[in-house]
Amino acid sequence: MDEKNKQLAELIGQSKNTVFFGGAGVSTESGIPDFRSETGLYAARKVYGYPPETLLSHSLFIEKPSLFFRYYKENLVFRDVKPNAAHIALARLEKQGLLQAVITQNVDGLHQAAGSENVLELHGSNWRHYCLDCKAEYSLEYTLQPVNCRDEVVPVCEKCGGIVRPDIVLYEESLDGRVLSAATEAIEAAGLLIVGGTSLAVYPAAGLLRYFGGKNLALINKSETPYDGDAQLVIHDAIGKVLEEVCCLLAQEGRAVV
Ligand code: ZN
Domain positions in the chain: 1-32+83-123+174-258
Peptide bond into 204 cis (omega under 30): yes
Mean pLDDT of all residues in 52-70:
97
pTM: 0.94
Phi-psi region of 53 (alpha: psi -120 to 50; beta: other; left: phi over 0): alpha
> 1-32+83-123+174-258 falls under which CATH superfamily?
TPP-binding domain (3.40.50.1220)
CB 193 within 8 A of CB 218: yes
Q: What is the mean pLDDT of residues 173-192?
A: 96
Asked whether the predicted pLDDT for residue 257 surpasses 60, the reply is no
| 255 — pLDDT class (breaks 50, 70, 90) | low
- Span from the CA of 78 to the centroid of ligand 1 (angstroms): 25
Q: Any idea which residues carry the catalytic annotation?
A: 123
Q: At what angle do helices 85-95 and 239-252 cross, to 10 degrees?
A: 30
Which candidate, 86, 116, 101, 78, places its Cα nearest to that of 19?
Answer: 101
Distance 51 CA to ligand 1 centre (A): 30
Q: Higher confidence at residue 239 or residue 40?
A: 239
**Residue 258 clears pLDDT 60, i.e. is over it:** no
C-alpha 167 to ligand 1 mean position (Å): 14
Q: What is the mean pLDDT of residues 77-85?
A: 93
CA of 119 to the centre of ligand 1 (A): 28
d(CA 181, CA 175): 10
Least confident of 103-107, 124-128, 207-211: 207-211
Distance CA 210, CA 113 (A): 29
Arithmetic mean of pLDDT, 181-193 = 97
At 29, give phi and psi (nearest 5°). -70, -10
Higher pLDDT, 165 or 200: 165
pLDDT at 256: 56
**C-alpha closest to that of 250 among 1, 3, 6:** 6
Packing angle, helices 239-252 and 3-14, rounded to 10: 60
61 by Cβ neighbours in 10 Å (0-12 / 13-18 / 19+) ranks as buried
